[in-house]
């Protein structure tokens, strides 16, 4: 088994928050992959900036020599609808082969 490459940036999942009473937005890293603390990264002005432009590789706040990649957390899978679940149940009933009906 090989060691992890220390120069490869790690993923840091972020949420977008604004500073109350101002127009400033921040990407918040709830748990830093290096130190485990919470960090803030400026995302721009609330009205004019596109916060997704600031996602990507940035230096870590706890150690500027290390880099991590700001990314949105993965979305959970969408649940199947009621009609789809019903079709699956009914489809399973139809596939049952009765020994009496050859």
Q: How far apart are the first and last CA of the chain?
A: 56
Residue 66 gets which letter from DSSP?
A: S
Residue 94's pLDDT is what?
62
Q: Which of 33, 41, 35 is nearest to 58 (CA)?
A: 41
Q: How far apart are CA 12 and CA 30, in angstroms?
A: 8
Q: Length of the chain, please?
A: 102
The per-residue pLDDT for range 17-53, each reduced to its tens digit, is 888 888 888 999 999 988 989 999 888 888 887 888 8
pLDDT above 90 as % of the chain: 11
Contact predicate 38/29, CB 8 Å? yes
User: Residue 42 — φ and ψ, nearest 5°?
Assistant: -65, 140
């Amino acid at each position: 088994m090989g060691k992890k490459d220390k120069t490869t940036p790690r993923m840091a999942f972020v949420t977008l928050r604004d500073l109350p009473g101002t127009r400033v937005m921040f990407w918040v890293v709830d748990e830093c992959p290096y130190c485990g603390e919470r960090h803030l990264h400026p995302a721009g002005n609330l009205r004019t900036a596109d916060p997704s432009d600031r996602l990507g590789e940035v230096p870590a706040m706890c150690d500027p020599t290390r880099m991590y990649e700001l990314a949105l957390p993965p979305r959970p899978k969408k649940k199947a609808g009621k009609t789809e679940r019903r079709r699956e149940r009914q489809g399973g009933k139809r596939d049952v082969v009765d020994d009496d009906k050859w």
